[in-house]
Amino acid sequence: MEIIFATGNKNKMAEAKALVPSHIRLLSLGDIGFKGDIEESAETIEGNSILKARTIYDLYGKPVIAEDTGLEVEVLNGEPGVRSARYGGEHGNADKNMELLLENLNGELNRSARFKTVASFIDDKGILTCFEGIVSGNITLHKQGCGGFGYDPIFKPIGFDKVFAEFTEHEKNLISHRGIAFKKFIRFLETR
């Protein structure tokens, strides 16, 4: 079974490929020849996730999974949230995003945060189903580790003494927001 994963993010693709069983072939946007940018203009993580899936389904008419992820920080009223990718002012600049977040939390003792992923699947008939994954943790004082991507160097999940950037991909997938959402998606595919 082939499913398009509507992302241009190689790290997300690698994590997702490690999660799905071998009879599901995840196609990247490159594999299907899509070269443009997918609009992310919705006001919510769920909205952007659905927008990405719909855009690619409408163009190709094949099963699509898309996801949108945000980091929600408690004392910042859920910011950066849906604006996580462009928080520091430049889309996809992880260092700038983390620098601004650490600056905004300077001196703050409550460093509670959570990653939220909404994965949206559109099947071959155009029917949409969404899956949510959340992992709670704390924002560290400094960047640590050298694995992962995005905000991984400053996010320490609850119950662990290391940040996501110090997890292996397999360890991260076991507990992460994306791992939880994709496991729900895989269970859904197996039971329908």
Kindly state whether residue 182 participates in binding ligand IMP, applying the rule CB under 6 A.
Answer: no
Q: Does the annotation mark 152 as catalytic?
A: no
Which residues, 6+ apart, have CB-to-CB distance to 83 below 8 Å?
A: 70
Pick the closer one to ligand IMP by CB: 9 or 120: 9
Contact indicator for 76, 110 with CB cutoff of 8 Å: no
96 burial level (CB within 10 Å; 0-12, 13-18, 19+)? middle
Site for ligand IMP in 52-71 (CB under 6 A): 68-71
Binding to ligand IMP by residue 42, rule CB under 6 A? no
Which one of residues 50, 152, 173, 180 is an interface residue with ligand IMP (CB under 6 A)?
152
Structure token pair of residue 127:
């029917």
Q: Which of 31, 68, 95, 124 is catalytic?
A: 68
CA distance 39 to 45: 13
Binding site for ligand IMP (CB under 6 A): 9, 68-71, 84-85, 94, 97, 148-152, 164, 176, 178
Give the residue numbers marked as catalytic.
Answer: 68
